[in-house]
Structure 1
């Protein structure tokens, strides 16, 4: 069957041409992984850019350290975390690997310090109580060094003060630590101005070295002549003013402390530089004792007992301490075959002068000390043992003049030279008692006793005779008593004797008046003795 005829009136259509597919054409389905890769790369780059600094901190123990949990804090701001905890190769310490944030990397310098913060009681203070709930963490203190560092040795205890606290550190040398500890307070006029930062035993084992930090502005009061002493416990002293109790504070009584004060001996005062070394004395009395530049050493020989005299006892000159005892020994003299007690003393000539007259420090009394010593000894200067306290029995040496002492000289041939001495007051009293006893022994007490016995026997006979005389004496006393009663009765105002006596006295008075009238008449008419009395005319 034939098909329809073509319509020549329709327009001609373009011929379809097959196009080839491009190799680089992006499919929409690939956009997701590409974006993921870009995000991952950005995160990786960001992680690399924000990655912190890795450090290692070694500790003696791993107490309080836990990988992934223990934080590192600086001024209570978290700046890092412990990533791993392991033993050191020699198994002697624990090494903590930590990462510090990039912003805090510049804080890792040569003297930066790390320590584990945990509950701790030290030096009278309590720290780390917040870790009871939050757990332990590593504390950090930034130093002032410039050189960077990545390996650190952790502290076993937290530092007493941060590095940025203003003030100065000083070194103290003492005989022993006493009751001091790290963190013990430092006082100035009973005000706490610092604390003990560290202590260590000296290499020779003969003392201890302490480091103390004094805060600003109190560090300016630490001068070149400042004296430091242990203010631990209670200092009780008994003197002429009574009992005196001295202590810094209740804290120093319990945990100890250090106090300091200027001696006032330097004009003008100068502020001590940081890390200046001072001596740590046992108490204030020892610290404030005058330390002299000139020292003369002598020996004083005693033959009496020196019980109660100790090394350090004062040498006193009329109430002023001018020296001290430095040694007590024994000596046997083969020539005399006797023992003596040599006592070594130090005398300080500066204490015999007055710097207040010239404003300068004192010196020697004379340019020729030997000549001066010989002159003073010739004038009676001697050393004597005296009792310093009746309660404790302590003795001291008195340097004074004794004009009546036997002649003596300084023995310059011995080393050190020997000063003459005189017996102490107690020894003199003992000698006097011994002499008195010797004299009493010469008294014939036996003969005196026999004579006394005979006298007592005679007295006994006399008493026996008196027993026979007593009745007669009683009768005599009774008669005398009666006579006294009679005399008393006679002497009464209303007795007859008293009346007669009064009449006689009146008659005597009239007679005397008549004689007086006669005398007056004869005085006027002496011729009456011859011619008689003339009659009066009417």
Structure 2
């Protein structure tokens, strides 16, 4: 009698362990995307009004699952309310390829997979969950007690705009606007601003007068300018027609000058040869210069003698003079 309870207890323990093992295998096999059914959880900030159980879940517009449960978690310590949405992803709705085809959840989240509330219809106000990749957004994982994989969420465009508006200091903005308005009122009441229309009118009148003067001057200068332009055009045509002739004449003149320079260089060379120290011409010139110098000395002596003794022309030189 004492062995029967032990057998029943052992059998119950074995059956319980088997059920736990089967449940664990089913959970592990369904934790990644690509199987038949995969449970996920998402945490949204703010209101989820319009999101109902059975609402579709779409990946880039293609429905791949539906919402299965919506929970409210109230934190008594922080007095915060967390909205958790559980959903079921149908892995048969898409095909997986590659080496990591057996598990896709964490990989897709790491690559930027995010969940966002979108409107099904503006008329009904119903919402659905749109899954898409936003790699530049943070993967905010909320610490909740759930056995399912958590997909990070991002706020809707309306929620983002609302947050930006809430963060704005409208009181400071209103104060700045009031300060600007007061400054404008002071400026408008100044004498300078009151005088501005008259100054502007005078300026416009001056511009108008200047414009009239310019028109008169242009009217009087127009014929003269046309004449100058015509003469300039004629001069340009004359230059265009005569330029080849002038160029040819200048080229011929340059050739003549080149020949003259060559002849001049040859003459200089010949003169240089004549006046060189060892040339016959130089020797003859030196001899002639010496003879001329001697004759000049004799003439100088004769002139001196005649100056002292003019009678020498009649009676000749005396022995004393000699």
Aligned to 1:425: 157
* Structure possessing the higher radius of gyration over alpha carbons: 2
Name whichever structure is richer in strand by fraction.
1
Q: Look up the match of 1:333.
A: 75
8 Å CA contact 1:300–1:421 kept in 2: the answer is yes
Structure 2: give runs of 5+ residues left out of the alignment.
1-34, 264-322
8 A Cα contact 1:522 1:528, kept in partner: no
Is the contact made by 2:139 and 2:152 (CA closer than 8 Å) also made in structure 1?
no
Q: Deviations over 1:433-479 (max 9, x none)?
A: 44467698398333333444566565553332132344444332221
| Partner residue in 1 for 2:200 | 466
Larger RCO (CA within 8 A; separation ≥ 6): 2
Task: Give 1:397's match in structure 2, choosing from 129, 144, 147.
Answer: 129
C-alpha distance 352-430 of structure 1, shift in aligned 2 (>3 A):
same
Who is 1:444 aligned against? 176
* 1:341-356 correspondence runs (5 A): 341-352=83-94
Q: Aligned in 2, Cα 1:308/1:412: closer, same or farther, shift over 3 Å?
A: closer
The answer as to 2:37 corresponding to 1:300 is: no
Is contact 1:295-1:348 (8 Å) kept?
A: yes
1:208-253: CA deviation from partner (whole Å, max 9, x where unpaired):
xxxxxxxxxxxxxxxxxxxxxxxxxxxxxxxxxxxxxxxxxxxxxx
What is the aligned residue count?
222
Aligned to 2:210: 476
CA contact (8 A) 1:412 1:418 kept: no
Shift of 1:392: 4.0
CA shift, 1:344, in A, is 3.3
**In the superposition, relative to structure 1, how do residues 490 and 407 fare at CA in structure 2: closer, same or farther (>3 Å)?**
same
Cα offsets for 1:300-346 (capped at 9, x unmatched): 33222223222221112233322212333444322221233333323
The alpha-carbon distance between structure 1 residues 528 and 437, as it changes in their structure 2 partners (threshold 3 A), is same
**Structure-2-length-normalised TM-score:** 0.51
For residues 308-323 of structure 1, what are the structure 2 equivalents within 5 Å?
308-323=50-65
Encode CA deviations 1:100-151: one digit per residue, 9 max, x unaligned.
xxxxxxxxxxxxxxxxxxxxxxxxxxxxxxxxxxxxxxxxxxxxxxxxxxxx
Q: What is the Cα deviation at residue 424 of structure 1?
A: 2.6
Provide TM-score, normalisation by structure 1: 0.33
**Is the 8 Å Cα contact of residues 55 and 128 (structure 2) preserved in structure 1?**
yes
Separation of aligned partners in 2, 1:300 and 1:314 = 14
Is contact 2:58–2:64 with CA below 8 Å preserved after alignment? yes
Q: CA 1:528–1:440 in structure 2 vs 1: closer, same or farther (change >3 Å)?
A: farther
Kindly report which structure 2 residues correspond to 1:69-468, keeping only aligned pairs within 5 A, or say none: 295-352=37-94, 366=102, 373=105, 376-409=108-141, 413-414=145-146, 419-435=151-167, 441=173, 444-453=176-185, 458=192, 460-468=194-202
